Structure 1
Amino acid sequence: MNIHTLRPVYGLVLLLVAFSCIPGTARTQGISRKRAAGGLTRTSCVEATVAIVGAADFGLTNIISGTVRFKKEAGGTSVTIGVDGLKTAEEDPFHIHVSPVGRNNCGAAGKHFNPTNIEQLCPGRVADHKQCQVGDLSGKGEKLKAKGGGIRAVVSYVDQVIDISQIVGRSVVVHDALGVKIACGDIACKRQV
Protein backbone atom coordinates (compact mmCIF):
# COMPACT_ATOMS: atom_id res chain seq x y z
CA MET A 1 0.00 0.00 0.00
CA ASN A 2 1.09 3.50 -0.78
CA ILE A 3 1.68 5.82 2.23
CA HIS A 4 -0.21 8.63 0.45
CA THR A 5 -3.34 6.46 0.33
CA LEU A 6 -3.26 5.87 4.11
CA ARG A 7 -2.86 9.54 5.21
CA PRO A 8 -6.60 10.38 4.96
CA VAL A 9 -7.44 7.25 6.97
CA TYR A 10 -4.98 8.24 9.74
CA GLY A 11 -6.61 11.68 9.88
CA LEU A 12 -10.07 10.17 10.34
CA VAL A 13 -8.84 7.81 13.06
CA LEU A 14 -7.17 10.71 14.89
CA LEU A 15 -10.37 12.77 14.65
CA LEU A 16 -12.48 9.87 15.95
CA VAL A 17 -10.16 9.36 18.94
CA ALA A 18 -10.21 13.08 19.76
CA PHE A 19 -14.03 13.30 19.76
CA SER A 20 -14.45 10.15 21.83
CA CYS A 21 -12.38 11.72 24.64
CA ILE A 22 -14.59 14.82 25.00
CA PRO A 23 -17.06 14.50 27.91
CA GLY A 24 -20.64 14.72 26.71
CA THR A 25 -23.75 16.35 28.05
CA ALA A 26 -27.03 14.43 27.76
CA ARG A 27 -30.36 16.25 27.75
CA THR A 28 -33.83 14.86 28.32
CA GLN A 29 -37.10 16.76 28.43
CA GLY A 30 -36.78 19.25 31.25
CA ILE A 31 -33.76 17.60 32.90
CA SER A 32 -30.15 18.19 31.98
CA ARG A 33 -27.49 15.74 33.06
CA LYS A 34 -23.83 16.70 33.12
CA ARG A 35 -20.90 14.41 33.75
CA ALA A 36 -19.28 15.45 37.00
CA ALA A 37 -16.59 13.94 39.20
CA GLY A 38 -18.06 10.72 40.49
CA GLY A 39 -21.24 10.58 38.40
CA LEU A 40 -24.17 12.57 37.06
CA THR A 41 -25.74 15.66 38.57
CA ARG A 42 -29.38 16.42 37.82
CA THR A 43 -30.89 19.78 37.12
CA SER A 44 -34.69 20.09 37.32
CA CYS A 45 -36.98 22.61 35.73
CA VAL A 46 -38.83 24.59 38.43
CA GLU A 47 -40.66 27.05 36.18
CA ALA A 48 -42.07 26.64 32.68
CA THR A 49 -44.11 28.88 30.39
CA VAL A 50 -46.33 28.57 27.33
CA ALA A 51 -47.28 31.19 24.74
CA ILE A 52 -50.82 30.32 23.67
CA VAL A 53 -51.81 31.18 20.07
CA GLY A 54 -55.12 30.60 18.28
CA ALA A 55 -55.26 27.60 15.95
CA ALA A 56 -54.04 28.55 12.46
CA ASP A 57 -56.29 26.00 10.74
CA PHE A 58 -59.37 27.86 12.05
CA GLY A 59 -58.03 31.36 11.34
CA LEU A 60 -57.77 32.16 15.06
CA THR A 61 -54.08 33.16 15.10
CA ASN A 62 -54.79 36.88 15.59
CA ILE A 63 -57.92 36.34 17.68
CA ILE A 64 -56.91 34.06 20.57
CA SER A 65 -53.73 34.59 22.61
CA GLY A 66 -52.54 33.96 26.13
CA THR A 67 -49.97 32.51 28.50
CA VAL A 68 -49.60 29.58 30.87
CA ARG A 69 -47.13 29.47 33.75
CA PHE A 70 -46.12 26.43 35.77
CA LYS A 71 -44.07 27.18 38.91
CA LYS A 72 -42.86 24.77 41.59
CA GLU A 73 -43.92 25.79 45.10
CA ALA A 74 -44.66 24.23 48.47
CA GLY A 75 -47.51 21.75 48.10
CA GLY A 76 -47.22 21.29 44.34
CA THR A 77 -47.02 23.30 41.15
CA SER A 78 -48.89 26.56 40.69
CA VAL A 79 -50.67 26.66 37.33
CA THR A 80 -51.88 29.99 35.95
CA ILE A 81 -53.46 30.39 32.52
CA GLY A 82 -54.79 33.60 31.02
CA VAL A 83 -56.41 33.68 27.58
CA ASP A 84 -57.89 36.52 25.51
CA GLY A 85 -60.30 36.19 22.58
CA LEU A 86 -62.53 33.31 23.75
CA LYS A 87 -66.24 33.30 22.88
CA THR A 88 -68.64 34.85 25.37
CA ALA A 89 -70.66 32.53 27.63
CA GLU A 90 -68.59 29.46 26.88
CA GLU A 91 -66.53 27.33 29.24
CA ASP A 92 -63.35 26.09 27.57
CA PRO A 93 -61.32 23.14 28.91
CA PHE A 94 -57.53 23.05 28.61
CA HIS A 95 -55.07 20.19 28.91
CA ILE A 96 -51.44 19.16 28.57
CA HIS A 97 -51.01 17.06 25.42
CA VAL A 98 -48.20 14.58 24.75
CA SER A 99 -46.58 16.21 21.71
CA PRO A 100 -45.32 19.70 20.91
CA VAL A 101 -47.29 21.76 18.39
CA GLY A 102 -44.36 23.57 16.80
CA ARG A 103 -45.54 26.36 14.54
CA ASN A 104 -49.10 26.55 15.83
CA ASN A 105 -50.21 23.16 14.54
CA CYS A 106 -52.68 22.29 17.32
CA GLY A 107 -53.61 19.07 15.50
CA ALA A 108 -50.07 17.74 16.11
CA ALA A 109 -50.55 17.82 19.91
CA GLY A 110 -51.66 14.20 20.10
CA LYS A 111 -53.59 12.84 23.08
CA HIS A 112 -53.82 14.17 26.62
CA PHE A 113 -50.71 13.63 28.75
CA ASN A 114 -51.92 10.70 30.85
CA PRO A 115 -49.06 8.55 32.22
CA THR A 116 -51.38 7.09 34.89
CA ASN A 117 -53.90 5.84 32.26
CA ILE A 118 -56.95 7.34 33.97
CA GLU A 119 -59.84 7.25 31.50
CA GLN A 120 -62.32 9.87 32.71
CA LEU A 121 -61.71 13.61 32.80
CA CYS A 122 -62.34 15.27 36.17
CA PRO A 123 -65.30 17.64 36.62
CA GLY A 124 -63.28 20.54 38.04
CA ARG A 125 -61.94 21.59 41.45
CA VAL A 126 -61.51 18.05 42.77
CA ALA A 127 -59.80 17.59 46.14
CA ASP A 128 -57.61 14.62 45.12
CA HIS A 129 -55.74 15.39 41.89
CA LYS A 130 -54.49 11.79 41.69
CA GLN A 131 -57.99 10.83 40.52
CA CYS A 132 -57.49 12.92 37.34
CA GLN A 133 -55.36 12.57 34.24
CA VAL A 134 -52.06 14.38 34.89
CA GLY A 135 -52.70 16.58 31.85
CA ASP A 136 -56.32 17.42 32.75
CA LEU A 137 -55.61 20.95 33.96
CA SER A 138 -59.18 22.27 33.76
CA GLY A 139 -60.46 19.12 35.50
CA LYS A 140 -58.19 19.76 38.49
CA GLY A 141 -58.67 23.54 38.40
CA GLU A 142 -61.64 24.76 36.41
CA LYS A 143 -62.54 25.58 32.80
CA LEU A 144 -61.73 28.97 31.29
CA LYS A 145 -64.86 31.13 31.45
CA ALA A 146 -64.97 33.60 28.58
CA LYS A 147 -66.09 37.05 29.73
CA GLY A 148 -66.30 38.86 26.37
CA GLY A 149 -65.43 42.49 25.73
CA GLY A 150 -61.69 41.77 25.58
CA ILE A 151 -61.55 40.71 29.24
CA ARG A 152 -59.01 37.98 29.88
CA ALA A 153 -60.24 34.59 31.15
CA VAL A 154 -57.94 33.41 33.97
CA VAL A 155 -57.65 30.20 35.98
CA SER A 156 -55.11 29.67 38.76
CA TYR A 157 -54.70 26.72 41.13
CA VAL A 158 -52.02 24.54 42.78
CA ASP A 159 -51.63 21.16 41.07
CA GLN A 160 -50.68 18.28 43.38
CA VAL A 161 -49.34 15.87 40.73
CA ILE A 162 -47.53 17.77 37.95
CA ASP A 163 -43.76 17.39 37.77
CA ILE A 164 -42.62 20.29 35.57
CA SER A 165 -39.62 18.33 34.27
CA GLN A 166 -42.01 15.72 32.81
CA ILE A 167 -44.12 18.22 30.87
CA VAL A 168 -41.43 20.40 29.27
CA GLY A 169 -41.43 19.76 25.51
CA ARG A 170 -45.14 18.87 25.48
CA SER A 171 -47.99 21.31 24.74
CA VAL A 172 -51.01 22.97 26.31
CA VAL A 173 -54.18 22.97 24.21
CA VAL A 174 -57.34 25.02 24.80
CA HIS A 175 -60.51 23.35 23.49
CA ASP A 176 -63.87 24.94 22.77
CA ALA A 177 -67.01 23.60 24.50
CA LEU A 178 -67.32 20.90 21.79
CA GLY A 179 -63.73 19.69 22.25
CA VAL A 180 -62.22 21.32 19.14
CA LYS A 181 -58.59 22.43 19.58
CA ILE A 182 -58.83 26.22 19.24
CA ALA A 183 -55.50 27.39 20.70
CA CYS A 184 -52.19 25.86 21.74
CA GLY A 185 -48.53 26.37 22.58
CA ASP A 186 -45.41 24.43 23.57
CA ILE A 187 -44.20 24.12 27.17
CA ALA A 188 -40.68 25.51 27.61
CA CYS A 189 -38.50 25.50 30.71
CA LYS A 190 -37.93 29.03 31.98
CA ARG A 191 -35.85 28.33 35.10
CA GLN A 192 -33.79 25.37 36.34
CA VAL A 193 -32.12 24.57 39.66
Structure 2
Amino acid sequence: MISTIQSSFQQLEASEAPSDSHDNPCNYTDMRCSSVIVSLACTALWSAVDAQLSATLNGAFGVTGTVTFTASGKNATRIKASIEGLGTAQAPGPEFPWHIHASAVSGTNCASAGGHLNLLNVDELQTCDPNNAAATCATGNLAGQCEAIGESGSKSCISHLFTLEDILDKAVVIHLNDANKTRISCGTIRGDPGTGRGTNNTNATEATNKTANGVATNNKNATVATNKPANGGASKTPVNGGAAPKAPVNNVPATAQAGAKNGNVNKAQASPKKNTPVKASPAAAAAKPKPSAK
Protein backbone atom coordinates (compact mmCIF):
# COMPACT_ATOMS: atom_id res chain seq x y z
CA MET A 1 0.00 0.00 0.00
CA ILE A 2 2.74 2.45 1.02
CA SER A 3 4.79 1.73 -2.11
CA THR A 4 1.73 2.37 -4.29
CA ILE A 5 1.10 5.77 -2.69
CA GLN A 6 4.79 6.75 -2.86
CA SER A 7 4.92 5.77 -6.53
CA SER A 8 1.86 7.94 -7.22
CA PHE A 9 3.49 10.94 -5.55
CA GLN A 10 6.78 10.44 -7.44
CA GLN A 11 4.98 10.30 -10.77
CA LEU A 12 3.05 13.45 -9.93
CA GLU A 13 6.18 15.31 -8.81
CA ALA A 14 7.97 14.30 -12.03
CA SER A 15 5.18 15.80 -14.12
CA GLU A 16 5.49 19.46 -15.04
CA ALA A 17 2.66 21.87 -14.45
CA PRO A 18 1.29 23.69 -17.53
CA SER A 19 3.06 26.98 -18.23
CA ASP A 20 -0.21 28.84 -17.87
CA SER A 21 -1.24 27.01 -14.70
CA HIS A 22 -1.53 30.30 -12.82
CA ASP A 23 -4.18 31.41 -15.30
CA ASN A 24 -5.85 28.02 -15.61
CA PRO A 25 -9.16 27.83 -13.69
CA CYS A 26 -8.42 24.14 -13.08
CA ASN A 27 -5.78 24.47 -10.38
CA TYR A 28 -2.81 22.15 -11.00
CA THR A 29 -2.32 21.40 -7.32
CA ASP A 30 -5.96 20.37 -7.03
CA MET A 31 -5.53 18.03 -9.99
CA ARG A 32 -2.61 16.34 -8.23
CA CYS A 33 -4.61 16.00 -5.00
CA SER A 34 -7.52 14.49 -6.93
CA SER A 35 -5.18 11.90 -8.46
CA VAL A 36 -3.90 10.94 -5.02
CA ILE A 37 -7.49 10.63 -3.77
CA VAL A 38 -8.30 8.20 -6.56
CA SER A 39 -5.14 6.17 -5.76
CA LEU A 40 -6.07 5.97 -2.08
CA ALA A 41 -9.62 4.91 -2.96
CA CYS A 42 -8.30 2.08 -5.14
CA THR A 43 -5.97 1.03 -2.33
CA ALA A 44 -8.91 0.98 0.11
CA LEU A 45 -10.93 -1.22 -2.23
CA TRP A 46 -7.98 -3.59 -2.63
CA SER A 47 -7.64 -3.74 1.16
CA ALA A 48 -11.32 -4.71 1.41
CA VAL A 49 -10.64 -7.61 -0.98
CA ASP A 50 -7.84 -8.85 1.31
CA ALA A 51 -9.74 -8.48 4.61
CA GLN A 52 -8.57 -11.35 6.80
CA LEU A 53 -9.05 -13.00 10.20
CA SER A 54 -6.93 -15.68 11.84
CA ALA A 55 -6.87 -18.04 14.81
CA THR A 56 -3.68 -19.17 16.54
CA LEU A 57 -4.20 -22.67 17.93
CA ASN A 58 -2.79 -24.18 21.12
CA GLY A 59 -3.79 -26.86 23.59
CA ALA A 60 -2.68 -29.56 26.01
CA PHE A 61 -1.92 -32.14 23.30
CA GLY A 62 1.08 -30.43 21.68
CA VAL A 63 -0.90 -29.46 18.58
CA THR A 64 -0.32 -25.90 17.36
CA GLY A 65 -0.90 -23.91 14.21
CA THR A 66 -2.85 -21.19 12.43
CA VAL A 67 -6.13 -21.04 10.55
CA THR A 68 -6.79 -17.99 8.34
CA PHE A 69 -10.06 -16.73 6.87
CA THR A 70 -9.94 -14.38 3.89
CA ALA A 71 -12.83 -12.62 2.13
CA SER A 72 -12.95 -14.00 -1.41
CA GLY A 73 -15.63 -12.52 -3.63
CA LYS A 74 -19.35 -12.38 -3.01
CA ASN A 75 -20.49 -14.41 0.02
CA ALA A 76 -17.35 -16.51 0.00
CA THR A 77 -14.59 -17.04 2.54
CA ARG A 78 -11.30 -18.78 1.78
CA ILE A 79 -10.04 -20.96 4.63
CA LYS A 80 -6.47 -22.17 5.07
CA ALA A 81 -5.21 -24.35 7.92
CA SER A 82 -1.56 -25.00 8.76
CA ILE A 83 -1.29 -27.29 11.79
CA GLU A 84 1.68 -29.04 13.44
CA GLY A 85 1.79 -31.95 15.89
CA LEU A 86 -0.86 -34.17 14.31
CA GLY A 87 -0.34 -37.93 13.95
CA THR A 88 1.61 -38.34 17.19
CA ALA A 89 0.99 -40.56 20.20
CA GLN A 90 -0.85 -37.71 21.83
CA ALA A 91 -2.85 -36.94 18.71
CA PRO A 92 -3.29 -40.13 16.68
CA GLY A 93 -4.76 -39.82 13.19
CA PRO A 94 -5.29 -40.31 10.47
CA GLU A 95 -8.03 -37.66 10.30
CA PHE A 96 -9.00 -34.78 12.56
CA PRO A 97 -12.43 -33.12 12.47
CA TRP A 98 -12.35 -29.33 12.85
CA HIS A 99 -15.06 -26.78 13.47
CA ILE A 100 -15.82 -23.14 14.23
CA HIS A 101 -17.34 -22.96 17.71
CA ALA A 102 -19.72 -20.31 19.01
CA SER A 103 -17.58 -18.65 21.72
CA ALA A 104 -14.08 -17.31 22.22
CA VAL A 105 -11.54 -19.47 24.03
CA SER A 106 -10.56 -18.69 27.61
CA GLY A 107 -6.82 -19.40 27.87
CA THR A 108 -6.14 -22.89 26.50
CA ASN A 109 -9.38 -24.39 27.79
CA CYS A 110 -10.98 -25.62 24.58
CA ALA A 111 -14.19 -26.52 26.43
CA SER A 112 -14.85 -22.78 26.86
CA ALA A 113 -15.46 -22.47 23.11
CA GLY A 114 -18.98 -23.86 23.51
CA GLY A 115 -20.82 -25.75 20.80
CA HIS A 116 -20.59 -25.55 17.02
CA LEU A 117 -21.48 -22.24 15.35
CA ASN A 118 -24.89 -22.90 13.74
CA LEU A 119 -26.38 -19.64 12.45
CA LEU A 120 -29.17 -21.38 10.47
CA ASN A 121 -30.04 -23.91 13.19
CA VAL A 122 -29.39 -26.86 10.88
CA ASP A 123 -30.02 -30.33 12.33
CA GLU A 124 -26.49 -31.62 13.01
CA LEU A 125 -27.61 -35.25 13.24
CA GLN A 126 -27.92 -35.37 9.46
CA THR A 127 -24.92 -35.86 7.19
CA CYS A 128 -23.31 -32.63 6.00
CA ASP A 129 -23.40 -32.51 2.20
CA PRO A 130 -20.98 -29.85 0.83
CA ASN A 131 -23.04 -29.68 -2.36
CA ASN A 132 -26.07 -28.62 -0.29
CA ALA A 133 -24.26 -27.03 2.62
CA ALA A 134 -26.85 -24.38 3.50
CA ALA A 135 -29.49 -27.04 4.18
CA THR A 136 -27.37 -29.83 5.63
CA CYS A 137 -24.28 -28.32 7.30
CA ALA A 138 -23.93 -26.31 10.48
CA THR A 139 -22.20 -22.99 9.82
CA GLY A 140 -19.05 -24.03 11.66
CA ASN A 141 -18.80 -27.61 10.37
CA LEU A 142 -15.54 -27.22 8.46
CA ALA A 143 -14.94 -30.98 8.44
CA GLY A 144 -18.17 -31.46 6.51
CA GLN A 145 -17.68 -28.53 4.12
CA CYS A 146 -13.91 -28.95 3.58
CA GLU A 147 -13.15 -32.52 4.79
CA ALA A 148 -11.16 -33.38 7.91
CA ILE A 149 -7.54 -32.31 8.34
CA GLY A 150 -4.99 -35.06 7.66
CA GLU A 151 -1.75 -35.73 9.50
CA SER A 152 0.08 -33.30 7.19
CA GLY A 153 -1.82 -30.51 8.91
CA SER A 154 -2.60 -28.60 5.69
CA LYS A 155 -6.08 -27.91 4.37
CA SER A 156 -7.62 -25.23 2.13
CA CYS A 157 -11.19 -24.70 0.98
CA ILE A 158 -13.91 -22.11 0.41
CA SER A 159 -17.11 -21.73 2.44
CA HIS A 160 -20.26 -19.87 1.39
CA LEU A 161 -22.01 -20.20 4.75
CA PHE A 162 -20.52 -17.26 6.65
CA THR A 163 -18.82 -13.89 6.36
CA LEU A 164 -15.83 -12.64 8.32
CA GLU A 165 -18.17 -10.61 10.50
CA ASP A 166 -20.07 -13.81 11.42
CA ILE A 167 -17.01 -15.58 12.82
CA LEU A 168 -15.12 -12.73 14.50
CA ASP A 169 -14.38 -13.60 18.16
CA LYS A 170 -15.57 -17.17 17.65
CA ALA A 171 -13.12 -20.12 17.95
CA VAL A 172 -11.55 -22.84 15.81
CA VAL A 173 -11.34 -26.26 17.49
CA ILE A 174 -9.54 -29.40 16.25
CA HIS A 175 -10.81 -32.76 17.53
CA LEU A 176 -9.58 -36.30 17.75
CA ASN A 177 -11.71 -38.61 15.64
CA ASP A 178 -12.69 -40.68 18.68
CA ALA A 179 -16.08 -41.38 20.19
CA ASN A 180 -15.91 -38.27 22.38
CA LYS A 181 -14.50 -36.01 19.66
CA THR A 182 -11.85 -34.87 22.15
CA ARG A 183 -10.77 -31.25 21.69
CA ILE A 184 -6.99 -31.21 21.23
CA SER A 185 -6.26 -27.66 20.01
CA CYS A 186 -8.15 -24.38 19.77
CA GLY A 187 -7.84 -20.62 19.29
CA THR A 188 -10.00 -17.50 19.09
CA ILE A 189 -10.58 -15.90 15.68
CA ARG A 190 -9.14 -12.38 15.73
CA GLY A 191 -8.47 -9.55 13.29
CA ASP A 192 -10.26 -6.85 11.35
CA PRO A 193 -13.05 -8.15 9.09
CA GLY A 194 -13.14 -4.86 7.20
CA THR A 195 -16.34 -3.54 5.59
CA GLY A 196 -16.40 -5.40 2.33
CA ARG A 197 -16.94 -8.75 0.72
CA GLY A 198 -14.18 -8.80 -1.89
CA THR A 199 -14.83 -7.32 -5.34
CA ASN A 200 -18.56 -7.14 -4.67
CA ASN A 201 -18.13 -4.60 -1.90
CA THR A 202 -21.27 -2.43 -1.99
CA ASN A 203 -20.38 -0.48 1.15
CA ALA A 204 -17.07 0.94 -0.07
CA THR A 205 -17.15 4.70 -0.47
CA GLU A 206 -16.97 5.76 -4.08
CA ALA A 207 -14.15 8.21 -4.71
CA THR A 208 -15.36 11.49 -6.17
CA ASN A 209 -13.54 14.42 -7.71
CA LYS A 210 -15.77 17.33 -6.83
CA THR A 211 -14.53 20.83 -6.13
CA ALA A 212 -15.98 23.70 -4.14
CA ASN A 213 -14.60 27.17 -4.98
CA GLY A 214 -11.61 25.49 -6.63
CA VAL A 215 -10.65 23.34 -3.61
CA ALA A 216 -10.44 19.60 -4.28
CA THR A 217 -12.48 17.37 -2.00
CA ASN A 218 -13.21 13.68 -1.76
CA ASN A 219 -16.42 14.22 0.18
CA LYS A 220 -19.23 12.81 -1.93
CA ASN A 221 -21.78 14.83 0.03
CA ALA A 222 -19.96 18.13 -0.29
CA THR A 223 -22.07 20.87 -1.85
CA VAL A 224 -21.28 24.34 -3.10
CA ALA A 225 -23.14 27.02 -1.17
CA THR A 226 -25.52 29.11 -3.27
CA ASN A 227 -27.32 32.35 -2.57
CA LYS A 228 -30.75 31.99 -4.12
CA PRO A 229 -32.76 35.20 -4.65
CA ALA A 230 -36.10 35.56 -2.87
CA ASN A 231 -39.17 36.30 -5.05
CA GLY A 232 -37.05 37.03 -8.06
CA GLY A 233 -34.82 39.55 -6.32
CA ALA A 234 -31.26 39.88 -7.57
CA SER A 235 -28.48 38.23 -5.66
CA LYS A 236 -24.73 38.00 -5.85
CA THR A 237 -22.57 34.95 -5.18
CA PRO A 238 -20.22 35.49 -2.22
CA VAL A 239 -16.53 35.50 -3.14
CA ASN A 240 -14.04 33.57 -0.97
CA GLY A 241 -16.56 33.12 1.80
CA GLY A 242 -17.59 36.80 1.95
CA ALA A 243 -21.13 37.60 3.04
CA ALA A 244 -23.59 38.16 0.21
CA PRO A 245 -25.72 41.33 0.15
CA LYS A 246 -29.26 40.84 1.36
CA ALA A 247 -31.75 40.38 -1.42
CA PRO A 248 -34.88 42.58 -1.48
CA VAL A 249 -38.16 40.83 -0.76
CA ASN A 250 -41.15 42.07 -2.78
CA ASN A 251 -39.13 45.17 -3.70
CA VAL A 252 -39.07 46.34 -0.07
CA PRO A 253 -35.68 47.73 1.05
CA ALA A 254 -33.76 45.56 3.47
CA THR A 255 -33.80 48.27 6.14
CA ALA A 256 -37.57 48.44 5.97
CA GLN A 257 -37.75 44.65 6.26
CA ALA A 258 -35.65 44.77 9.41
CA GLY A 259 -37.87 47.42 10.92
CA ALA A 260 -41.02 45.52 10.09
CA LYS A 261 -39.72 42.44 11.92
CA ASN A 262 -39.02 44.38 15.12
CA GLY A 263 -42.25 44.78 17.05
CA ASN A 264 -40.72 47.34 19.41
CA VAL A 265 -39.95 49.86 16.71
CA ASN A 266 -42.64 52.56 16.22
CA LYS A 267 -43.64 53.47 12.74
CA ALA A 268 -42.07 56.66 11.47
CA GLN A 269 -44.40 59.68 11.83
CA ALA A 270 -44.65 62.33 9.14
CA SER A 271 -43.21 65.69 10.19
CA PRO A 272 -45.80 68.56 10.28
CA LYS A 273 -45.33 71.18 7.61
CA LYS A 274 -44.50 74.76 8.66
CA ASN A 275 -46.98 77.52 7.68
CA THR A 276 -44.59 79.80 5.85
CA PRO A 277 -46.26 83.05 4.64
CA VAL A 278 -46.38 83.45 0.89
CA LYS A 279 -45.18 86.70 -0.56
CA ALA A 280 -47.51 88.37 -3.07
CA SER A 281 -46.27 88.78 -6.58
CA PRO A 282 -45.75 92.37 -7.97
CA ALA A 283 -48.81 92.00 -10.21
CA ALA A 284 -50.99 91.04 -7.29
CA ALA A 285 -49.67 93.98 -5.30
CA ALA A 286 -50.51 96.41 -8.14
CA ALA A 287 -54.00 95.01 -8.43
CA LYS A 288 -54.70 95.56 -4.77
CA PRO A 289 -57.30 98.39 -4.39
CA LYS A 290 -56.06 101.59 -2.81
CA PRO A 291 -57.93 102.89 0.22
CA SER A 292 -60.46 105.57 -0.67
CA ALA A 293 -59.94 109.13 0.54
CA LYS A 294 -62.11 110.14 3.42
* TM-score in same-fold range (> 0.5): yes
Residues 164/100 of structure 1: CA separation in 2 closer, same or farther (3 Å cut): same
TM-fit CA distance, 1:181: 0.5
**Greater share of strand residues, 1 or 2?**
1
Q: Show structure 1 runs of 5+ residues with no match.
A: 1-42, 147-151
Contact kept? 1:93, 1:174, Cα under 8 Å: yes
Give 1 or 2: higher helix fraction. Answer: 2
Q: Which structure has the larger Rg?
A: 2
| 1:182 to 2:204 alignment | no
Of 32, 47, 50, the residue aligned with 2:52 is 47
- What is the identity percentage for the equivalent residue pairs of Structure 1 and Structure 2? 27
Match of 2:110 among 106, 112, 117: 106
Q: Secondary structure at the match of 2:111?
A: helix
Amino acid at match of 1:66: G
Give the superposed CA RMSD: 2.3
Aligned positions of 1:20-169 closer than 5 A: 46-54=51-59, 56=60, 60=61, 63-75=62-74, 76-87=76-87, 89-120=93-124, 126-130=130-134, 131-146=136-151, 152-169=152-169
- Determine if contact 1:67/1:81 at 8 Å carries over to the other structure: yes
TM norm structure 2: 0.44
Residue 12 (structure 1) aligns with:
none
TM-score scaled to structure 1, two decimals? 0.66
Q: Distance in 2 between matches of 1:70 and 1:176?
A: 22
Count of residues paired in the alignment: 140
**Could you list the per-position Cα deviations for residues 71-112 of structure 1 after superposition, in whole angstroms to 9, with x for gaps in the alignment?**
001251001111111125421000011111121110101100
**Unpaired segments of 5 or more residues in structure 2?**
1-47, 196-294
CA 1:121–1:74: 2 relative to 1, 3 Å: farther
- For 1:24, the equivalent position in structure 2 comes to none
Paired with 2:149 and 2:127, the residues of 1 have a C-alpha distance of: 13
Q: Secondary structure at the match of 1:101?
A: coil
Of structures 1 and 2, the one with the larger relative CO (CA 8 A, separation 6+) is 1
CA shift digits 1:46-88 (9 cap, x unpaired): 310000112x3xxx2xx21110000001251001111111125
